[in-house]
C-alpha cells in the first residue's frame, strides 16, 4: 500500500436507530487497519500465555504425583518388611514359648523328685525348715511392665516382642542353670543319704557285735582236742565205782595243752583246791559261769577281764584226777548245766 493511501481519510457512517439521524465518524485508513490488528494480536498473546502456564502447572502436578506415588511405594515396602519381621519374631516367640513350656515341665518333674527325696529322707533328719523353703516353681507374667509413649502399633508390637524375647532368654538361661544343677544336687543328696545309711548300717552291725560280745555267753570249745571221755550227768565214779553225778564234761588232752576261755567275762576265781586241783572260774553275764579244772598252770588272776578264746591256762591232772584231761563245767545261777547246751 502506498503512503498516500494510508493518509487517506475514511468516513464511518454509524446508524443507531430509525428515528435518530446517522453519525459520521472521520478517521484515517491506518487507524482502521491497525486497531483490529492490535486487538487480534493481544488476544493471541493472551491465549498463548494461558496455554504455556497451564502446561507448566500440569507438568508440575505430574511431578508431584510421581513423587507422592514413589513415597507411598516406599512406605508400603517398609510396612511389608515390618510385617514380615514381626511375623518372624512372633514365630520365634512361639517356638521359644513351646521350648520354655517343655523345660518348665522338666523342671517341675525335677522339683517333684526333690520333694519325693525330702519326703523320703526329710522325716529322719527332722528339719522342717527344708520343707518350708521348698515352694513350687511358678512363673507370673502379670506384673510385666508394658506401655510407655504412644507410637505406631507395629513399632510398639516390635518393642514388646523384643522385650518378651529378652525375658525368654533370661528365663531360658535360668532354666539352663536349674536343669544343670538340680539333677546334680539330687544325685549328691542321694549319695550323701546312701553314705549315711551305709554308715548307720555298719554302726548298727558293730553295736550288735559289741552287744553280743558283751553278752559274753560261753560258746567256744575250750581246748584243741575234741575227744570227750565223760559227759554231763550220772555215771560210775572212776574212784569208787559207785553211781555219782558228774557236774561237767571231761575232755582228753596232753598236759600243757592250751586252755581257752569259752566266752568273755571276768575271772572270779583262779586257785588250787583239793578235788578241783588248779581251777579257774570265769563269770559271764546272765548268771553264767564256766569252770576249768585239773589245770597244770593258770595265767589269769581274779578280776581279769577275759575275751572269748583267750588262753587262760594249760591242761593238767591236778586234784582228784586219774590222768591229764580238762573238766569243763557250766554253772547257771549256781546250778551245773550240760555244757553241750552252750559249746559245740
What residue ranges bind Zn ion (CB under 5 A)? 250, 327
Of 314 and 327, CB closest to Zn ion: 327
- From the list 14, 16, 10, the residue with the least C-alpha distance to 31 is 10
Of 174 and 275, CB closest to Zn ion: 275
Of 284 and 327, CB closest to Zn ion: 327
Of 223 and 264, CB closest to Zn ion: 223
> Is residue 75 exposed (0-12), middle (13-18) or buried (19+ Cβ within 10 Å)?
exposed
Of 164 and 325, CB closest to Zn ion: 325
212 Cβ neighbours under 8 A, 6+ residues apart: none
Q: Do 281 and 267 form a contact (C-beta atoms < 8 A)? A: yes
Closest CB 201 distance from Zn ion, rounded Å: 45
Position of minimal CB gap to Zn ion:
327
Closest CB 246 distance from Zn ion, rounded Å: 6
- From the list 205, 333, 319, 330, the residue with the least C-alpha distance to 272 is 319
Vertex 35: Cα angle to 30 and 37 (nearest 5)? 100
Q: Which helix (H) or strand (E) holds 148?
A: none
- Whole-angstrom distance, CA of residue 190 vs CA of residue 129: 19
DSSP symbol at 324? S
- Whole-angstrom distance, CA of residue 132 vs CA of residue 215: 46
Closest CB 205 distance from Zn ion, rounded Å: 39
- From the list 77, 79, 74, the residue with the least C-alpha distance to 154 is 79
Closest CB 248 distance from Zn ion, rounded Å: 5
Task: Identify the bridge partners of residue 13 per DSSP, sorted by sequence position.
Answer: 24
Closest CB 275 distance from Zn ion, rounded Å: 10
Closest CB 306 distance from Zn ion, rounded Å: 22
Of 250 and 257, CB closest to Zn ion: 250
Amino acid at each position: 500500500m502506498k503512503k498516500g493511501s494510508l493518509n487517506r481519510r475514511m468516513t464511518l457512517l454509524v446508524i443507531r436507530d430509525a428515528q435518530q439521524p446517522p453519525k459520521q465518524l472521520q478517521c484515517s485508513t491506518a487507524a482502521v487497519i491497525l486497531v483490529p490488528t492490535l486487538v487480534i494480536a493481544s488476544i493471541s498473546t493472551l491465549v498463548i500465555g494461558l496455554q504455556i502456564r497451564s502446561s507448566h502447572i500440569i507438568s508440575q502436578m505430574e511431578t508431584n504425583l510421581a513423587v507422592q506415588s514413589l513415597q507411598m511405594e516406599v512406605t508400603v515396602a517398609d510396612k511389608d518388611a515390618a510385617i514380615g519381621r514381626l511375623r518372624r519374631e512372633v514365630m520365634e516367640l512361639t517356638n521359644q514359648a513351646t521350648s520354655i513350656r517343655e523345660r518348665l515341665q522338666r523342671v517341675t518333674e525335677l522339683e517333684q523328685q526333690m520333694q519325693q527325696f525330702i519326703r523320703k529322707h526329710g522325716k529322719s533328719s527332722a528339719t522342717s525348715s527344708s520343707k518350708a523353703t521348698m515352694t513350687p516353681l511358678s512363673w507370673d507374667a502379670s506384673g510385666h511392665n508394658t506401655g510407655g509413649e504412644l507410637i505406631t502399633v507395629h513399632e510398639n508390637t516390635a518393642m514388646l516382642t523384643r522385650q518378651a524375647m529378652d525375658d525368654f532368654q533370661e528365663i531360658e538361661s535360668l532354666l539352663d542353670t536349674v536343669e544343670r544343677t538340680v539333677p546334680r544336687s539330687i544325685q549328691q543328696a542321694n549319695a550323701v543319704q546312701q553314705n549315711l545309711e551305709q554308715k548307720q548300717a555298719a554302726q548298727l552291725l558293730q553295736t550288735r557285735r559289741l552287744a553280743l560280745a558283751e553278752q559274753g555267753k560261753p560258746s567256744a570249745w575250750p581246748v584243741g582236742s575234741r575227744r570227750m571221755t565223760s559227759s554231763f550227768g550220772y555215771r560210775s565214779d572212776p574212784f569208787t565205782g559207785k553211781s555219782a553225778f558228774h557236774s561237767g564234761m571231761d575232755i582228753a588232752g596232753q598236759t600243757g595243752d592250751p586252755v581257752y576261755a569259752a566266752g568273755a567275762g571276768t575271772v572270779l576265781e583262779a586257785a588250787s583246791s583239793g578235788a578241783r586241783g588248779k581251777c579257774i572260774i570265769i563269770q559271764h553275764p546272765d548268771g553264767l559261769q564256766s569252770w576249768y579244772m585239773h589245770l597244770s598252770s593258770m595265767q589269769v588272776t581274779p578280776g581279769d577281764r577275759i575275751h572269748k578264746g583267750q588262753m587262760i591256762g594249760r591242761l593238767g591232772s591236778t586234784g582228784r584226777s586219774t590222768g591229764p584231761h580238762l573238766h569243763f563245767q557250766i554253772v547257771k545261777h549256781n546250778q551245773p548245766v550240760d555244757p553241750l547246751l552252750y559249746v559245740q
